[in-house]
Amino acid sequence: GSMLNVIGAEPTRAYQALAMQARLKVPLLFGQDVIHGYQTTFPIPLAEAASWDLPAIERSARIAATEAASAGIHWTFAPMVDIARDPRWGRVMEGAGEDTFLGSKIAAARVRGFQGRQLGDTDAVMATAKHFAAYGAAVAGRDYNSVDMSPRQLWEVYLPPFKAAVDAGAATFMNSFNDINGIPATGHRGLQRDILKGAWGFKGFVVSDWGSIGEMVAHGHARDKRDAARLALAAGSDMDMESEAYRGHLGALVKAGQADAAQVDDAVRRVLRKKFELGLFDDPYRFSDAAREREVLARPEHRAAARDM
């Protein structure tokens, strides 16, 4: 139901036309890492955070969303709201730094900027709060690695920016590569079902990070991809990015009574709801307008805002 790294009004229109040949005519989502600008380049998120200028940070995300949406993109894998306190971690530059209060304010500002007035407007894209959770606390800054954390530190330092993103209306969440106290976040029911969808009442969908469902095998948490698909679905991961564990195994798991069909229905419903909110069932090509793309990407005020930032 989605494609990555397909950009431009004409290419997205062409792939959407192929999707419309299918029996159910369910429109595709087009996602892209729009991290610090689309065509107009803004400073990296850490540099923006150093300004403490929340209106300017929101404007940066607003312009990035306007440009990306004009190029047929519906969904950005941003903002990264991980708190990072170890400079050895290679993704520090993608977040807002080490302070939980500032990080929470910036998380909300960037969600508002990306999503604009409402989903469905052709200058808005779905935001993704990532990486849920505690990815920035990987031991010794080793990416994809383990996190060893007390409940107090998790709740007081690492979760508040995600709660701020939920409160700001973030459409989607992305889970993280790391394990937390021995359980991979992708297969962590406590994080995804109990906290995010339960206590916080999150109504959007959760997408895995790139291949992270399959990587639960490397963590030693799942026997194989089939087992990883079973664990991820049960934990609350709605969409499988890249590992093909869901596509390859969910049907067989349900038929064998090893996966809950109601949980599959819930995951599908969450994704479809966002496609409806974007207006894609009314017009699957509404974001793929070459004339609008040319006009939006030529706006001089976008470069002026980037220079100001």
CB 209 within 8 A of CB 186: yes
CA atoms of 47 and 24, how far apart (whole Å): 45
Per the annotation, the verdict on 209 as an active-site residue is yes
The first and second tokens of residue 146, run together, are: 């383990």
* Pick from 147, 139, 142: nearest CA to 181: 147
Q: What are phi and psi of 296, to 5 degrees?
A: -65, -45
CA atoms of 274 and 191, how far apart (whole Å): 22
Residue type, 219: H
Compute CA distances 155 → 18, 100, 175, 308, whole Å: 45, 11, 16, 35
* Pick from 182, 190, 236, 191: nearest CA to 213: 236
The Cβ-side half-sphere exposure at 131, using a 13 Å CA radius, reads: 24
The first and second tokens of residue 272, run together, are: 């479809």
Query: Catalytic residue among 82, 209, 240, 289, which?
Result: 209
Which residues are annotated as catalytic?
209
